[in-house]
Amino acid sequence: MIKNSRELKTGAVVILVIIVFIWGFNFLKGHNVFDGRSNTYFTRYANVQGLSTASPVTVNGYQIGRVIDISFDEVPERRGELVVKFSIEKSFDFGKSSIAKIYSASLMGGKSLAIIPSYDSEIAESGDFLKGEIESDIFSSVGEKLNPLQAKLESVITSADSLLVNINQILDVDSRNHIKSTIASLDGAMVNLERLTLNSELLVIENRKSLRSSMENVEHVTKNFSSLSDTLVEANLGGLLAKIDSTMANLNSISMKIDNADGTIGKFVNDPAVYDNLDKATKELGELLEDLKLHPKRYVHVSVFGKKEKEYVSNDTIEKK
């Protein structure tokens, strides 16, 4: 009786161990035998980003299943891609157009599978394939953004290296000496410029009174000019200019008449005969006045006794004799 009791206890312990082993093995594979019936689904990825067997499957952060298996796709056209098999133990219905997305569950790098449910399509059944997507985590995003920056930085470093090589080739010993002398000359020029600035400041300080007086004179001249402008405006400068313009027009008309020999002055200016006759008459008048002074008796006669009047003889006749 005792022997049979020990055998029964030993068999019970063995059976219990086998049951625990089966449960643990299935639990590690992502399947809990005590949860009852579960549905199995598949999805496909080119890279599972560290997703592993027994990784949790969640909906809105709530775990509803586990990843059961990850294997290579046996379809020749999809060689190299990975097929993820996962189970959902909770009672949850979603459409076939839902998405199975791999995401980072924590900053430590653990990956989980999230179901992004869609209810606009036919209800998914066990064994269906869902569309797979990968959510970029913070490190992947930083890496994706740093990759182009790294390429540009490498290009810049290469260009800078080439530039430095060319500069070293250009800056030989003579060039370096010239640059040093140029820098020394610039240093001297800066010292001279500083002295010139100091002298200019001293000159301004010494002549501050003269400069102030000059500025006051300029201001006074400006005020006088403004007053003169106001005076010209009040004096009807426009009317004065109109009168001057009219006078110039009249003078121009007179000048044209003289040039065209209109009137006495025009004939006198333009006709040589008039000038010659006038010149001849002037000469004869002069001779007549001179003869009148020399021989007044020839022109004034007082005949008391009836003497005969003497004949007048001109100077030309006397000169001929």
DSSP 133-202: EE---HHHHHHHHHHHHHHHHHHHHHHHHHHHHHHHHH--HHHHHHHHHHHHHHHHHHHHHHHHHHHHHH
Residue spans of the domains in the chain: they are: 27-135, 271-321
- pLDDT tens for 68-121 read 999 999 888 888 899 999 998 878 889 999 999 999 877 666 789 999 999 888
pLDDT score of 145: 65
d(Cα 298, Cα 121) in Å, to the nearest integer?
158
Least confident of 20-34, 69-83, 239-253: 20-34
Minimal CA–CA distance to 130: which of 111, 145, 149, 117?
A: 117
Closest CA to 66 of 84, 46, 92: 84
* Cα–Cα distance measured from residue 179 to residue 166, given in angstroms and rounded to the nearest whole number: 17
Cα→Cα distances 307→31, 296, 299, Å:
188, 17, 15
**In percent, how much of the chain has pLDDT > 70?**
74
Question: CA neighbours within 13 Å on the CB side: how many for 144?
Answer: 7
- Mean pLDDT for 212-228 is 80
* Range with lowest mean pLDDT among 65-69, 203-207, 271-275: 271-275
Q: Is 12 helix (H, G, I), strand (E, B) or coil?
A: helix
Query: Of 67-71, 135-139, 185-189, which range is least confident?
Result: 135-139
pLDDT confidence of residue 137: 61
Average pLDDT over residues 9-16: 79
Q: Got the DSSP string for 13-53? A: HHHHHHHHHHHHHHHHTT--GGG---EEEEEEES--TT--T
Longest Cα separation, the chain: 230
Average of per-residue pLDDT values in the chain: 78
Q: What is the pLDDT of residues 261-301, one digit of tens each?
A: 656 666 666 667 767 777 788 888 888 888 877 877 776 65
Tell me how far apart the alpha carbons of residues 52 and 45 are, in angstroms, rounded to a whole number.
13
| pLDDT score recorded for residue 311 | 52
Task: Classify each residue of 61-95 as buried b or exposed e, where b means 16 or more C-beta atoms within 10 Å of its C-beta.
Answer: eeebbbbbebeeeeeeeeeeebbbbbbbbeeeebe
Counting every residue written for the chain, the total comes to 321
